[in-house]
Every structure is written in C-alpha cells, then in structure tokens.
Amino acid sequence: MTDIEKRKYDELARISKALAHATRLYIIHKLDEQEYCVKELTEMIGADISTVSKHLTVLKNAGIIIDKKRGNCVYYKLQCRCVLSMFSCLTNVIDSNKDKMNFT
C-alpha cells in the first residue's frame, strides 16, 4: 500500500468510526428531514445536552454535518447527504440477512 492509499484508508476509517454509533446515525437521519438546533436534537434523543453536543462534534469533525449559529442557538444540517446512500446499502445487507439475524 502506498502512502497516499494509506492516508485515504485511514481517513475512510476515521469517518466510518464517526458513523459507528446509533445516536449519531439517528442524528444524521433527523438532519436529512431538516436542520435542527442542539436543544431540539437533545429533546428528540432524550440525552443531556453535553452528550448530544459531543456526538455533533464527532459528526462535524468528520465533515458529515455543518453548523450555523443563529441567535442563541446553533443549528446543524447535513453537509454530505451522500452518506444516506451508504445507509440504504447497509439496510439492504440487513434485509438480505434477516434469516440469520433472527429478525421478526
């Protein structure tokens, strides 16, 4: 593997790690609907604001979401909607393995 390939796959792994949490996946799906402020996301998720803020920071650092301050609230929206295509693909994997995973 070349140095360029190594850096590319390291970056892919870093972004994949940012996605590897159920709450962050939920946030991404909600932000596909519309932009939300931290307070709204906190209420939807049912966690404290510091936890939600940490999740948002991970997604922002990975380049998946962006934020914009308006008044006293910070609003978030998807930067890269193409990540939703990956979710669709993963859902197909789940569907094709339902028999093995004991889904009802």
Helix and strand counts by DSSP (H, E) for the chain? 6, 3
**The listed CATH number (1.10.10.60, 3.40.710.10, 1.10.10.10, 3.40.50.10800) that belongs to domain 3-101:** 1.10.10.10
Structural contact between residues 65 and 76, judged by C-beta atoms closer than 8 angstroms: yes
Structure tokens at 25: 């996946």
pTM of the prediction? 0.82
Q: Where are the domains of the chain?
A: 3-101
Q: What is the pLDDT at residue 81?
A: 85
Looking at residue 66, the DSSP 8-state letter turns out to be E
Helix or strand or coil: residue 50? Answer: helix
Q: What is the pLDDT at residue 77?
A: 96
Query: Above 60 in pLDDT, residue 90?
Result: yes
Looking at residue 75, the DSSP 8-state letter turns out to be E
Tens of pLDDT, residue by residue over 9-48, are 999 899 999 999 999 999 999 999 999 999 999 999 999 9
Burial 32-67 (b: 16+ CB within 10 A, else e): eeebbbbebbbeebeeeeeebeebbebbeebebbeb
In this structure, the dihedral spanned by the alpha carbons of residues 75, 80, 25 and 54, taken in order and rounded to 10 degrees, is -50
